[in-house]
Amino acid sequence: MSKVDDVNARFILDSDTRNFNFEKTQHISSDFMDSLKAQRENSLGLAEGDIMSVAKVPAIVYEKWLTEGFDIMKEPAHAIVARLKQESLDGFLTTKKKV
């Protein structure tokens, strides 16, 4: 079963500077990535309906982009695809079709 865990957040004390750093992590299983790859490979043979899956963006990426002013809930699909490719995150794409 493909799995993406919840986002984990923690404070880390830097012993040299005595400052706290904030770290967010999210485990993304290889099964999840394999399922996306299979979807992508099979996407060209699928007929398009009213809704087409373009990508599955993990929460950690969504949150990072949101802090950078890029809200995928408001952006067109082609902009999301372009940003995934630009940041070498195209493994999260679920289609090979042009969007």
Q: What is the pLDDT of residue 43?
A: 86
Please give the Cα distance from 99 to 87 (Å, whole number): 17
Note the pTM of the prediction, 2 decimals: 0.76
pLDDT for residue 45: 75
Q: Rounded CA gap, 64 and 28, in Å?
A: 16
| Per-run averaged pLDDT (10 residues), the chain, 99 residues | 69 84 88 94 76 90 95 95 97 91
Residue 19's alpha-carbon distances to 11, 13, 28, 97, in angstroms, are 10, 6, 29, 47
Backbone dihedral angles phi then psi of residue 86, each to the nearest 5 degrees: -60, -35
In the prediction, which pLDDT does 1 show?
A: 44
- A 10 A CB-CB count for 53 gives 13
Residue 3 has a pLDDT of 55
